[in-house]
Copies of this chain bind each other. A is one copy, B any other.
Amino acid sequence: MKFNQFGQINNIPYNQKVTELINLHFLDSNTLADTTANTLWLHFLSKSFPEAKSDSIKKSKLNTLLANSTQTVTDYIATKKVDATSFYCVALQLLDFEFENDFNPKTPLESLTTLNLYHHQQVNTVEQVVIAWYDLLCTYTKSGHTFLDKLTTKGYFTSFYQLPASSKPLFFNGKSLPIFDTSSLIFEVVYVESDLDTDDDGKADLLKVEVIRPKDTNDGLKVPVVYTASPYNQGVNDELGKKLTHNVDIPLKRKAPNQTSYADIEYHSHTKSVEKRISTGKTTVAEESFGRELSYTLNDYLLARGFAAVYAAGIGTKDSDGMRTCGSPAETASTVAVIEWLTGKRRAFTNKDDNVEIEAWWCNQNVAMTGKSYLGTLATAAATSGVSGLKTIISEAAISNWYDYYRDGGLVVAPGGFPGEDADVLTAECFSRKKQAADYLQIKSVFQQKLATITQNQDRETGNYNTFWDARNYLKNIQNIKCDVLMVHGLNDWNVKLRNVFNLYQALDKLPITKKIILHQGQHIYINNFQSLDFSDMINLWLSNKLYAVNNNADSILPNVLVQENTAESTWHTYPTWDAKNIKVHTFSFANKQLTTTPTPNSHLANFNNHLDEKDFLYYQKNITRWQQDLLKENSALASSRLIFKTEPLKNDLYLQGTPQVKLRVATNQDHGMLSLMLVDFGNAKRLGTSPTILATKALDEGFHWREDNLVEFKFANPTDAKMITKGHRNLQNRTNLWRNDELLAGTFYDLDFVLQPMFYHLTATHQLGLIIYSTDMEMTVRSNENISYSFDLAACQLSFDADVL
């Protein structure tokens, strides 16, 4: 158990601490006048039990706390003076740490150091008690949120709900306080009018927007918005998606060589003018409410803290007009339209028929976008529009280029776990207008025709980058981004692969914005409910700064690059950069089954054949996990269908960063072919589990009697012998670029430069680094068990990557 707080500000001046404690009702202006350190300590402690409504209850709560190995805090205060040891012995109990199990009452400061929790060495004077108490309130509990959050869940802030709107929000330690009554939130729906007509009905597409805002906005408070654009949140068509999923058990096709240039396939935008509605009036009152949105618990947390939450599913979803287009510029425009309404630059109506306008009059015109996967993707998309009012995006596991989601290296390469999925499948999945029978019947033929166009244009035949994908490459518009960007991505995310966030991260380097990145050890998950990291606190700091303009130095306090360690539980490191520019390059040559630091002098051939025994092939097709495991083994039914090269056991730990590069000289016995490369950590070790462990169900209340989340953490699983670090795929006919088909003659050697997916990996000494070369990737590529041989001239092969040596 270890805590990593980055959203805690530790250098607040004393006077400001006093002021903030007064605002928090922990002090009043008289408390400090004539007090002693002991009295003040007791005063603070007695305020730590908001559940106690009488002095007797308060006293009994105090009597549960030990100040040392033998005395309750009450007894202690009667006989001794507060010091750091007694203060933190009590503090650890308030933070839910357990006597004997989690800390030693004789050495609480050591326990705090081990737990990696901020604390002071001296707590003797009144001033020191003030300082230590202030910082304690910002310190994490065992329950995965701050002590202040714990007090919140016990009702500390209920008396603040009634404060006048003009006194809200309140900030403490640079972050907005949970003084907003979540039981009186206002839920309302409006329909934003876009400039689009994606369903060709001659009318501008209206977009349903779900708004949740604090009731204080009715009393004049203007609040910022966290906006989550989620195409999923009006429902999904799982059956249809399943039906449309493409067969991947087909052979790879030879592509006719050509000389296609980027200019030939470049996407150029075209605008279509759309007739707008004529306004019939204005109102400030919405006509539609809703029960429960599909929420992101981070937004729930922020709702208790003075932010409105806004959800929109966009074109082609239930209750909206239009057509799904999967990543297109129209989808981006539909996403941005909501921000334009929030910031007063676009109209919304109370319903879809009466044309009565309603403004976002309650909004302070500052917007952030949140959400993971497609949601984070649309945040990225919106940012590339440069729309004003969008102050920051927190893009988690986001796609930056749809080609990098559904394709790789001139191949159809599925997101991990979703073989056969493609842009058309996702389009159909999210087309929730289908959920409403009458609406669907009306739009069905347009939908089917437009869907067919997507199926055609995505081009599963070649896997090449074409106009369809160029229109869906947000990286082209990076230069438009004006907002600050906080990226979050799982280092084991093979759904949205790392290249998506790496390319965005690198491209942002050239822009005058603040960028931050968090790389965790998860797959495709959220991280706002981890015990070891104060993610919600960090976001509160970030958004208080970006949306409420609180001068809290968020830009400098939050680390630029925060990476979760893969060889230890609950450990996070900060780095200046991820792009590995100033780091040592490591280069390896290929020898017989080995990666060596001395070049292979003479031509030396190695080869494998993609074909498996039919029974084995069928088995692996159905047992992808087993295929993944067997691929890493020395001996398995896969042994002759791949090559493994390993380094000597490492003498030092290595931190692998950025993108591994591989040069190959390869020939096949056919006129077509594909290669997959995998970098592997070989060495028996305990490794973090693939999914976080639930430590406590529904244990994280995002406010008081409000929505809840499970508390989770990555824990070591049983030891394993190897782990994939990264991989990549390439069509041998895309040696030049992604849009041109190169010639491929059987029996001819070709040189190929291969860039694998990015990585950030701690490889420990004694382990071996391995590279596996294979063809069919059961999880991601087509799989036909074709009889193709691949030969490599090892003398012309090379692996290089950047890594810190520790």
Contacts and interface: CB of A to CB of B under 8 A. Distances in A.
Interface of A: 50-54, 56-57, 59-60, 63-66, 69-70, 72-73, 93, 98-99, 101, 105, 153-155, 183-184, 189, 239-240, 286-292, 350-354, 434-441, 701, 704-705, 708
Contact of A288 (B51, B101, B287): B51
Contacts of A99: 437, 440-441
A63 B438 contact: yes
B287 A57 contact: yes
Contacts of A439: 63-64
B53 A287 contact: yes
Contacts of A354: 56
With most chain B CB atoms within 10 A of its CB, the pick from A290, A350, A436 is: A436
Contacts of A63: 438-439
B353 A289 contact: no
Contacts of A436: 64-65, 93
Contact of A291 (B64, B155, B440): B155
Contacts of A437: 64-66, 93, 98-99, 105
A100 to B, nearest CB: 8
B287 A54 contact: yes
Nearest to A158: B289
Nearest to A64: B436
Contacts of A64: 436-439
Contacts of A60: 351-353
Contacts of A434: 98
A352 B58 CA distance: 11
A46 to B, nearest CB: 14
Contacts of A72: 438
A288 B52 contact: yes
Given A65-B437, A288-B51, A353 B56 contact: yes
16 contacts: A51-B189, A53-B289, A56-B354, A57-B287, A57-B288, A65-B436, A65-B438, A66-B437, A69-B441, A72-B438, A93-B436, A98-B434, A98-B435, A101-B240, A154-B289, A292-B708
Given A60-B352, A63-B438, A291-B701, 19 more contacts: A50-B289, A52-B287, A52-B288, A53-B287, A53-B288, A57-B351, A60-B353, A63-B439, A64-B436, A66-B437, A66-B438, A66-B441, A70-B441, A93-B436, A93-B437, A101-B239, A154-B290, A154-B291, A155-B291
Nearest to A49: B288
A286 B51 CA distance: 11
Contacts of A701: 291-292
B93 A351 contact: no
Contacts of A101: 239-240
A414 to B, nearest CB: 22
Contact of A350 (B51, B54, B154): B54
A392 to B, nearest CB: 27
Contacts of A70: 441
Given A353-B60, A436-B64, A438-B63, A705 B53 contact: no
Most chain-B CB neighbours within 10 Å: which of A69, A70, A105, A351?
A351
Closest 5 CB pairs of A and B: A99-B437, A183-B183, A54-B287, A64-B436, A66-B437
Contacts of A69: 441
Nearest to A239: B101
Nearest to A286: B53
Contacts of A351: 54, 56-57, 60
Contacts of A59: 353
A68 to B, nearest CB: 10
A278 to B, nearest CB: 16
A53 B70 CA distance: 63
B56 A287 contact: yes
A35 B531 CA distance: 61
A440 B63 CA distance: 11
User: Which residue, of A64, A73, A350, A354, has the highest number of chain B Cβ atoms within 10 A?
Assistant: A64
Contacts of A105: 437
A291 B54 contact: no
Contact of A51 (B98, B291, B441): B291
A351 to B, nearest CB: 4
Contacts of A53: 286-289
Contacts of A98: 434-435, 437
Contacts of A705: 183, 291-292
A57 B705 CA distance: 31
Contacts of A155: 289, 291
Contacts of A289: 50-51, 53, 154-155
Contacts of A291: 51, 153-155, 701, 704-705
A285 B338 CA distance: 49
Contacts of A240: 101
A239 B60 CA distance: 26
Contact of A153 (B50, B73, B292): B292
Nearest to A69: B441
A128 B230 CA distance: 42
A145 to B, nearest CB: 12
A781 to B, nearest CB: 24
A108 to B, nearest CB: 11
A776 B722 CA distance: 34
A40 to B, nearest CB: 21
Contacts of A189: 51
A642 to B, nearest CB: 27
Contacts of A57: 287-288, 351
Nearest to A238: B101
Contacts of A239: 101
Of listed A53, A286, A288, A437, residue having the most chain B CB within 10 A: A437
A715 to B, nearest CB: 14
A446 to B, nearest CB: 17
A181 B50 CA distance: 23
Nearest to A183: B183
A51 B290 contact: yes
A287 B58 CA distance: 10
A154 B292 CA distance: 8
A352 B52 CA distance: 13
A350 B60 CA distance: 12
A353 B66 CA distance: 19
A292 to B, nearest CB: 6
A472 B101 CA distance: 31
A70 B354 CA distance: 25
Most buried by B among A155, A287, A704: A287
A50 B436 CA distance: 17
A426 to B, nearest CB: 18
A372 to B, nearest CB: 14
A189 to B, nearest CB: 8
Nearest to A288: B57
